[in-house]
Amino acid sequence: MSDSGSSILRGIGSYVPSIKVDNNELSKKVDTSDEWIRSRTGIKERRYAAEDENTSDLALKASQRAIDMAGVSPEEIDLVLVATITPDMAFPSTACLLQHKLGIPQVACFDLEAACSGFLYALDVADGMLSSGRYKCALVVGAEKLSSIMDWEDRTTCVLFGDGAGAAILTKTGKGAEMLGFQCGADGSNPSLLHQPAGGSALPASTETILARGHFLKMNGREIFKSAVRVMERASRELLSHHGIDISEVNHVIPHQANARIVESLSQRLEIPLDKFFCNLHKYGNTSAASIPIALDEAFKAEKFRKDDLGLLVAFGAGLTWSSALVRF
């Protein structure tokens, strides 16, 4: 639990690629149908990056929009964090590549991997680093090119995911939404629930790992569903309790955009009306670490938030990881 809090969300921005693929078009490539996908997930379409469009390119466009909204210059940024499970390469970090593309000075840059919980993890880390007094302006990004690790022979996973990026500017001073606190956790006891088996030091790339399709995302959907609802409920309740806030005081919930049925189940378990949840997964599918910042940006643009509204952000991801954050708009 982190409540150093009081960082200011000065700007938010997002970017999704121009290639739009709806369920009917996807059914020409995969043994599936629009009805099968929509009834199980709520997803209608998703975006895919072009072949020459890397995760850092998606992050660049989202970051430029967040910087513009915040009214800061790249020279003022002294910390860059990128949450991703699909970096441009194993090293150097995507954050370093993004730093160069933005023209940010030689400051602290690193990637963070907590899968779909990654953006909120990164906000928590940035908040703590800003609170140390050694940093003044952080660029926090969630960016993914999940189409690069999809197994197009597995219809249970490839229909779920899309590409995109979201970015935020955090400072300790200035006008914006106030980050009140964070809760992050993990249970690494069953990593095979959602993982990419090959490509790391445990299973380096080889002819065998390629033939076994080990470099693609693998998921146990049934177990992930049950775990996701449970851990997001816990992360939400624990954070609210820690801050002495009743659930009825929450005006907006921005959940990880993975599955409409997960969101509906979370709404029921938290006893928060579904109309308080902001969802755009029907347009983009699951964009992992980019999911919450894209939704947050769209909610801002749709003028969903009034002054002093309380927002709850909550996510789960591979690990299993979970995270939540409270925001006063």
Q: Is 116 a catalytic residue?
A: yes
Q: Which of 79, 85, 65 is nearest to 143 (CA)?
A: 85
Instruction: For residue 92, count CB atoms less than 10 angstroms from its CB and return exposed for 0-12, middle for 13-18, buried for 19 or more.
Output: middle
Please list, in sequence order, all residues whose beta carbon lies within 8 angstroms of the beta carbon of residue 67, skipping any fewer than 6 positions away. 11, 13, 73, 74, 77, 102, 139, 169
- Quote the CA–CA distance of 311 and 302 in Å, as a whole number: 15
CB 278 within 8 A of CB 253: yes
- Cα gap 172→156, rounded to integer Å: 43
Instruction: Find out whether 167 and 102 touch, Cβ atoms under 8 Å.
Output: no
In 113-187, DSSP assigns E strands to 137-145, 163-171, 177-186
| 149: its two tokens | 């690790």
Count of C-beta atoms within a 10 Å radius of residue 258: 27
Find out whether 145 and 53 touch, Cβ atoms under 8 Å: yes
What is the Cα–Cα distance from 239 to 237, expressed in whole angstroms? Answer: 6
Residue from 256, 259, 279, 280 carrying the catalytic annotation: 256
Alpha-carbon torsion angle 246, 251, 256, 258, nearest 10: 110
Active site residue 286: yes
Query: Which of 96, 116, 137, 184 is the catalytic position?
Result: 116
Identified catalytic residue from 54, 259, 280, 286: 286
Grouping H, G, I as helix, E, B as strand and the rest as coil, residue 38 is helix
Tokens of 259: 């599955």
Catalytic (active-site) positions: 116, 256, 286
